[in-house]
Structure 1
Amino acid sequence: MHERGAKETARKALSLLDLTDLGETCDAAAIERLYEEARTPFGTVAAICIWPRFVAQARGLLGKGHSVKIATVVNFPAGDLPVADVVAETRQAIADGADEIDLVIPYRAFIRGDEAAVTEMVTAVKAACTPPVILKAILETGELKDPALIREASDLAIAAGSDFLKTSTGKAVVNATLPAARIMLAAIRESGRPVGFKPAGGVRTVVDAGEYLALAASILGEGWATPRTFRFGASALLGDVLSVLADQPASPATAGY
């Protein structure tokens, strides 16, 4: 990727980034650091993605009407909580100030053949997401593995009202991949609905980001990817984005979401 192209991709990726801290050691101080990192000399990220227990703190830091959205996760990461518990978790997160809900579908039940579990979960949580709160369905594609299952899960989540399809929790052995992304983007195109896409886990460099943006453009058109339709779920990506924009040598990618 030439320098000008790299910088254009880096600027785009920054505007689409859900800067994420879902680490087991995350604490209040980490949320403060995330808040500071979200506002860069080159602009802000799209959102911060954090555990539900930190949403109220983040809302206090960001205030109302801030351009950086607050995303949080429910039924995370195993995807095996009862629907009523996940709905309660969602409602509490929204009351605390969440703008976006990233829901893990019951992917283990789905793998066992229970398609209705996906429909029931997504429908119930979507109903709890009072506008303008948006819902992202996490399919955990690295666990689904089979392209046919990834496509079916995509179709079910879209039909049940999800506003975004998200590849992964970032906690699986295999997270976002281009083949899974291709299947999900095709499902979005063929649905005819205004559904967004979020690759998450393993997107660590501007080159990585460029590959996903190029794939989205090839399937859904140039200019389709905006913060309303496309997000990167990542923690490590920001460092490479800032290095490219500041004309600094990239530091080695660190292990992370």
Structure 2
Amino acid sequence: MIDKNTQDLLAKADSAPATPEVARRAIPLVDLTSLSGSETGAEIEALCAKALAHQVAAVCIYPRFLPIARPLLAGGTVRLAGVANFPDGSDDLARAADEAAAAVADGADEVDVVAPVQAIMEGDVGIVGELVEAVRVAIGPSTRLKLILETGVLADPDRITAAARAAVMAGVDFLKTSTGKVPVGATPEAAAVLMRVCEEAGMRVGFKASGGIRTAADAARYLCLGDAIMGAGQISAQTFRFGASSLLDDLVRVAGGGASEAGTGGY
């Protein structure tokens, strides 16, 4: 259940202004993402060029494109992320670990792995910790591990909290809202739940909002929540990310003095 204090913070976040300063703050937090499944090599090259031009946090793509992206990003500060167990969230932990290990072998600095959503819905929260532990062994301690909890499916705040805490106890680095492949992606309510878990973990774990975040106005809401719950001094690419494909365009527009556009969902 969302407590009264969090409800007040959510109301405040709804009116957070999408100012040029907010947009400029959000740009280096973006994981520039392309996970449509129909990408071409040329489109991945263009994505990497765009990421470098704006110095975002990372590029997040399907593992088959990692060998294309790796040399383009090598030597810079933009990190490379691949997905695993994506997007279905299978309970085949060995498969998830193998996919994650293969992504690292192909150059990924970070792995975004989907939690076994159906198993969690059936009451097996412990499988979250088992997944994180298996993937951590597969990728090693230096690769950043983000867990996608598909909060729009899990829905219940107590269920989301339990799954997130299990992941934290097992050594995850980031808690992420969504694959962007289900009807309900990120919501401020679910974000607040995950941020609370990050806060209680002493900020050893970061937060990533993804799924339907398309505008600077969207980013402003989540940054407002992050400042209130996680702490304004805690927000950086080490602790806070936006996973999105079209968000960057709107952030650049607003950073230059333009108005934020209306969003329509999706990655």
Give the TM bin, normalised by the shorter chain: over 0.9
- State the SS of the aligned residue for 1:199: strand
The alpha carbon displacement at 1:249 in A equals 5.1
Per the normalisation by structure 1, the TM-score is: 0.93
**1:81 CA drift (Å):** 5.0
- Contact kept, 8 Å, 1:236 with 1:253, in 2: the verdict is no
CA–CA distance in structure 1, aligned partners of residues 164 and 126 of structure 2: 13
Partner of 2:71: 60
Matched, 1:50 2:61: yes
Contact 2:33–2:61 under 8 Å retained in 1: yes
1:174 aligned onto 2:149? no
Tell me whether 1:39 sits opposite 2:43 in the alignment: no
Aligned to 1:245: 255
Partner of 1:21: 34
Identify the residue that residue 25 of structure 2 maps to in structure 1: 12
CA distance in 1, matches of 2:127, 2:261: 43
- 1:256: how far off? 3.7
2:119 corresponds to 1:109: yes
Match of 2:134 in 1: 124
Contact residue 236 and residue 254 of structure 1 kept, 8 A:
no
Deviation at 1:131, TM superposition (A): 3.5
1:195 has 2:208 as partner: no
Q: Which residue of 1 aligns with 2:216?
A: 206
TM-score scaled to structure 2, two decimals?
Answer: 0.90
Deviations 1:32-77 (A, max 9, x none): 110121133xx411000000111111002222x3210001110000
Contact kept? 2:203, 2:230, Cα under 8 Å? no
DSSP 3-state at the match of 1:127: helix
Equivalent residue in structure 1 for 2:170, among 151, 160, 168 = 160
Instruction: Return the alpha-carbon distance in structure 2 between the equivalents of residues 253 and 117 of structure 1.
Output: 35
Does the 8 Å CA contact 2:215/2:261 hold for their aligned counterparts? no
SS at match of 2:221: helix
1:191 positional shift? 2.4
Percent of residue pairs identical: 46
Partner Cα separation in structure 1 for residue 141 and residue 165 of structure 2: 22
Q: 1:94 to 1:143 in 2, by over 3 A?
A: same
How many Å separate the matches in 1 of 2:227 and 2:160?
20
Check conservation: 2:179, 2:211, Cα contact below 8 A. yes
Which structure 2 residues correspond to residues 222-233 of structure 1 after superposition, within 5 A?
A: 222-233=232-243
Three-state SS of the structure 2 residue aligned to 1:203 is coil
Size of the aligned set, in residue pairs, is 253
**Amino acid corresponding to residue 240 of structure 1 in structure 2:** D
Query: Structure 1 runs of 4+ off > 3 angstroms?
Result: 248-256
Unaligned runs of 5+ in 2: 1-14
**Structure 1: gaps spanning 5 or more residues:** none
Is the contact made by 1:239 and 1:251 (CA closer than 8 Å) also made in structure 2? no
Query: For the residues of structure 1 that align with 2:16 and 2:163, how far apart are their CA atoms?
Result: 37
Equivalent position of 2:8 in the other structure = none
In 1, Cα distance between equivalents of 2:221 and 2:177: 15
2 CA distance for matches of 1:161 and 1:2? 33
* Cα separation, 2, equivalents of 1:191 and 1:242: 33
Distance 2:220 2:264 in 1: 19
Distance in 2, matches of 1:250 and 1:12, equals: 15
Counterparts in 2 of 1:93 and 1:249: CA distance versus 1, 3 Å: same
1:69 maps to which of 76, 79, 82: 79
